[in-house]
Amino acid sequence: MRGIIMLLPVLLWTFICAIFGILVRVFYRADRTVLITGHYCWSPVVLWLLGVKVKITGKENLPLVPSIYVANHTSQLDIPIVSASIPRGLFFVAKQELSKVPILGQYMHIMGMIFVDRGNREKAIQSMEIAAKKVKKGKNLVTFPEGTRSTDNALLPFKKGSFVIAQKGQIPLVPIAIKGAGIALPKGSFIAHSSTVEVKILPAILPNEHIHLGITEFAQLAQEKIKMAFNDK
C-alpha cells in the first residue's frame, strides 16, 4: 500500500505531462516537444517526488549530432534518469504493451517513440529499421540493450539491434552507465528509496573507427565500457 501511495503522484504527473505534450506538439516539432516535456518537466519532478538525486558526469562527451544512447537497465527509474541527464529530445525504444496505456500511449505515438514486440522477431526487426530512419532524420535514440532489467547489477548480454543500426548508419553510439537506480527503486518493487544515482556519460563510440568488428564484438565493446565505468573510482 505504501508503494502504491508513493507512486500515485508520479502517475498523475506522468499523465499531466503526456496531455501537456500532446498540446505542445501542435506548435513544436516532436524533438523539441520531447525535450520540453521529458527533460524539463516530467523527469525532474518524478525524481524529486521519489527523493532521488542524480549525479551526472561526462556531459562534455555528449555529441552535437544525432546519436544512439545505450544504457544498462536495473530499474523503472532508468527512463526518467536518462531523460533528466541528457539535454536532448530523446526517443525511446519501448515495449509494445506501453502503446496500449491510455493517454501515455497516445503521447508516445504522437511523439514518434518506437515500440518493439519482443515476442515477434520479425516485427522487432522492422521496429529497429524504423528507429534507424528516425536517427538518420535527426532524432536521438535511447535503448536499453539488455532488453530487461537485471536484478544484481550484473550486465546481461546486449541484444544487437542498436548496434546494427549504428554500424549500418555510421551513427555515434554513446554508452551510459547508471549506478544505483536498482537501489532507488528495485525491480519488482513499488517503494522508492531516497538516494543518489550516478550517471556517467561515456565518450561516443564511432563505428568507422571499429570497422574491423562484427556486430557481436561491437556490442561487447559498448558493454565493456559500461562495465568498466562501474569500477572507476
Q: For 144-162, how does the pLDDT look when each residue is reduced to its tens digit (9 = 90+)?
A: 988 776 666 678 888 888 8
- Tell me: the pLDDT tens digits for 66-93? 999 999 988 889 999 999 999 999 998 8
> Which range of residues forms the domain containing residue 189?
2-231
Please name which of 104, 115, 93 lies closest in space to residue 10, comparing C-alpha atoms.
104
pTM of the model: 0.90
Name which residue leads in pLDDT, 130 or 215.
215
* CATH number for the domain harbouring residue 110: 3.40.1130.10
Cα–Cα dist 69/179, whole Å = 16
Mode of pairing for the β-strands spanning 90-95 and 114-116: parallel
> Which residue is associated with the grid cell 536495473?
74
Report whether pLDDT(198) > 70.
Answer: yes
pLDDT in tens, 9-50: 999 999 999 999 999 999 999 999 999 999 999 999 999 999
pLDDT (0 to 100) of residue 161 = 82
- The pLDDT score that the predictor gives to residue 81 is 97
124-143 exposure pattern, b = at least 16 Cβ within 10 A, e = fewer: beebbeebbebbeeebbbbb
What mean pLDDT do residues 175-198 have? Answer: 87
Q: How many domains does the chain have?
A: 1
